[in-house]
């Protein structure tokens, strides 16, 4: 074992963990002020749930001894047989337990990203159950297919350095499925739904960008030259993407915004993730710039045309960004950067691109269909969506009896909303109905 590698992966694990609170600030700043607590709490709760799920059975299912190239068995459940000895098939210079810790942080952030697709309309208890099921039934099998020893996509030679398919396509497409299944927010299209706290958004992006160096450079699983290359390509693609987003936004709207620059940076981080350890710096520059442009149109024009309420652009940023990044890996990858990878189409190997396209298609279908089934099951058993009255009051007060801005949001204002609904012919104006405070406290 190598002490330098161990130190770097320990640090990288901490860096990746801080990304999830970064998501909380990023998403929390973009919702309306009456939903900031519940949005951030949903993201934070994922850390708690998956930290336990991963130890109990998640790591074993994702990376444990292979069963029919589909899933790991349960020999590593509760971290049995996961100790100080390395597993050479994953990382020869660090303990298997450390590799499991590092991968835990990926398993945590992935379902947290789904919050962007279902924000401002879901019961908290139902959300918790959904996350347990999704992590177990969607993330763990897909991680095994792509990264697990014996996984069928892994055996075909798919290139996914740090999670374009496993993390970003799976979560982004799940966010789209959730947005479609739940339907639009009650006031969608009726009132303006702007980000309530752009400084929160910037703080979230700062934490994400900082942590992403552990996400991508750490995926070299060692303190080595490949880690350095992944670090550089990550930063380059991110900056290029943000600049490209700003340019397109300025061209289309007449203004470049801080919110847009933040969204563009995240798009670049997502797009470079599967390619970070396979492409040159020049390749990352092109990949990132195109990623910013593609994600801009996905988050604005595409969403507007089809009308789905992907509240915080989980699909536009992560689903589309991850798709582009995975495909671009098949274009720009070169063995001159990583001898364990493969040459892409631009280096004379069309087969790599075909495998990448297969991986993208599989990830899309598996995540979308599986998420729809899980949502339906949870909805039938527990119910997923809050009532229109609760949604208009705001989930911070209704679900958690908390709010981020006490001077603006109180039970008096909640009662006023309910009375307004009654007078305007809303859902409380039917015969024999009277304004009441929700029971969900």
pLDDT at 437: 41
Whether 286 and 398 map to the same domain: the answer is no
Domain-embedded: residue 279: yes
126 and 175 in a single domain? The answer is: yes
Give the span between the Cα atoms of 41 and 64, in whole angstroms.
31
227-276 per-position pLDDT tens digit: 999 999 999 999 999 999 999 999 999 999 999 999 999 999 999 999 99
Q: β-strand 71-72 against 66-67: which pairing, if any?
A: antiparallel
pLDDT digits (tens, 9 = 90+) for 8-26: 999 999 999 999 999 999 9
Domain boundary, last residue among 330, 353, 382: 382
pLDDT of residue 187: 86
Q: Residue 161 sits in a domain of what CATH number?
A: 1.10.3430.10
Q: How many CB atoms lie within 10 A of CB 353?
A: 18
In whole angstroms, what is the distance from residue 81 CA to residue 136 CA? 20
Same domain (yes/no): 347, 402: no
Q: Is residue 143 one of the residues assigned to a domain?
A: yes
Q: Considering only CA atoms, which of 310, 198, 321 is closest in space to residue 264?
A: 321
Residues 45 and 180 in one domain: yes
Here the tokens at position 4 are 């330098």
Shared domain check, 145 and 28: yes
Place 414 in a pLDDT band, splitting at 50, 70 and 90.
Answer: low
Number of domains in the chain: 2
pLDDT band at 409 (very low <50, low <70, confident <90, very high): low
Q: For residues 352 and 414, state if they share a domain.
A: no
Cα within 13 Å of Cα(63), Cβ side = 24
The answer on 272 and 416 residing in a single domain is no
* Alpha-carbon gap, residue 233 to 9, rounded angstroms: 19
What 352-356 contacts at long range (C-beta under 8 Å, 24+ apart), as own/partner pairs, is: 352/157, 352/159, 353/327, 354/330, 355/156, 355/157, 355/158, 355/159, 355/330, 356/158, 356/159, 356/326, 356/327, 356/329, 356/330
Has residue 293 been placed in a domain? Answer: yes
Residues 201 and 335 in one domain: yes
Does 211 map to a domain? yes
Q: Please give the residue range of the domain that contains residue 9.
A: 3-382
Domain membership flag for residue 436: no
Percentage, residues of the chain above pLDDT 90: 88
Instruction: Indicate the pTM of the whole model.
Output: 0.92
In a domain, 428, yes or no: no
Strand (E) or helix (H) holding 365:
helix 350-382
432 assigned to some structural domain: no
Asked if residue 244 and residue 316 are part of one domain, the reply reads yes
Same-domain pairing of 268 and 417: no
Say yes or no: 285 and 407 in one domain: no
Tell me the pLDDT tens digit for each residue of 177-208: 999 999 999 988 888 889 999 999 999 999 99
386 contact partners, CB below 8 Å, separation of at least 6: 121, 122, 123, 395, 398, 399, 440
- Residues 14 and 40 grouped into a single domain: yes
The residues, any chain, with a CB within 8 Å of residue 182's CB and separated by 6 or more, are 118, 121, 122, 309, 375, 384, 385
The reply to whether 437 falls in a domain is no
**DSSP-based three-state secondary structure for 87:** strand
């Amino acid at each position: 074992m190598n002490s330098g590698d161990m130190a770097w992966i320990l640090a990288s694990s901490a860096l990746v963990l801080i990304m999830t609170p970064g998501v909380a600030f990023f998403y929390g700043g973009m919702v309306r002020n009456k939903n900031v607590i519940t949005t951030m709490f949903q993201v934070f709760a994922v850390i708690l749930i998956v930290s336990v799920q991963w130890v109990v059975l998640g790591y074993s299912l994702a990376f444990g001894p292979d069963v029919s190239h589909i899933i790991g068995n349960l020999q590593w459940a509760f971290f049995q047989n996961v100790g100080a000895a390395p597993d050479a098939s994953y990382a020869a210079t660090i303990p298997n337990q450390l590799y499991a810790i590092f991968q835990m942080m990926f398993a945590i952030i992935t379902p947290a990203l789904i919050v962007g697709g279902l924000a401002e309309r879901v019961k908290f208890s139902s959300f918790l159950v959904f996350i347990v099921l999704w992590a177990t039934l969607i993330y763990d099998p897909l991680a095994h297919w792509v990264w697990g020893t014996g996984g069928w996509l892994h055996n075909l030679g798919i290139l996914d350095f740090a999670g374009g398919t496993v993390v970003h396509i799976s979560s982004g497409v799940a966010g789209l499925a959730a947005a479609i299944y739940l339907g639009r927010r009650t006031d969608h299209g009726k009132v303006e739904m702007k980000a309530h706290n752009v400084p929160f958004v910037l703080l979230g992006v700062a934490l994400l960008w900082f942590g992403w160096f552990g996400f991508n450079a750490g995926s070299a699983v060692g303190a080595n030259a490949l880690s350095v290359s992944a670090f550089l390509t990550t930063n380059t693609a991110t900056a290029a993407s943000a600049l490209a987003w700003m340019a397109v936004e300025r061209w289309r709207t007449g203004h470049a915004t801080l919110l847009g620059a933040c969204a563009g940076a995240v798009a670049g981080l997502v797009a470079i993730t599967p390619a970070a350890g396979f492409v040159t710096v020049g390749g990352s520059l092109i990949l990132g710039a195109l990623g910013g442009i593609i994600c801009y149109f996905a988050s604005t024009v595409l969403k507007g045309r089809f009308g789905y309420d992907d509240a915080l652009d989980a699909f536009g940023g992560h689903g589309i960004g991850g798709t582009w990044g995975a495909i671009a890996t098949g274009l720009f990858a070169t063995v001159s950067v990583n001898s364990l990878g493969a040459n892409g189409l631009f280096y004379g190997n069309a087969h790599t691109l075909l495998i990448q396209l297969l991986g993208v298609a599989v990830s899309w279908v598996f995540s979308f269909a599986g998420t729809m089934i899980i949502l339906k099951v949870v909805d039938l058993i527990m119910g997923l969506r809050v009532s229109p009255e609760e949604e208009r009051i705001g989930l911070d007060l209704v679900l958690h009896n908390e709010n981020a801005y006490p001077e603006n949001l109180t039970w008096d204002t909640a009662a006023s909303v309910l009375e307004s609904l009654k007078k305007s012919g809303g859902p409380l104006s039917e015969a024999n109905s009277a304004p009441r405070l929700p029971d969900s406290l």
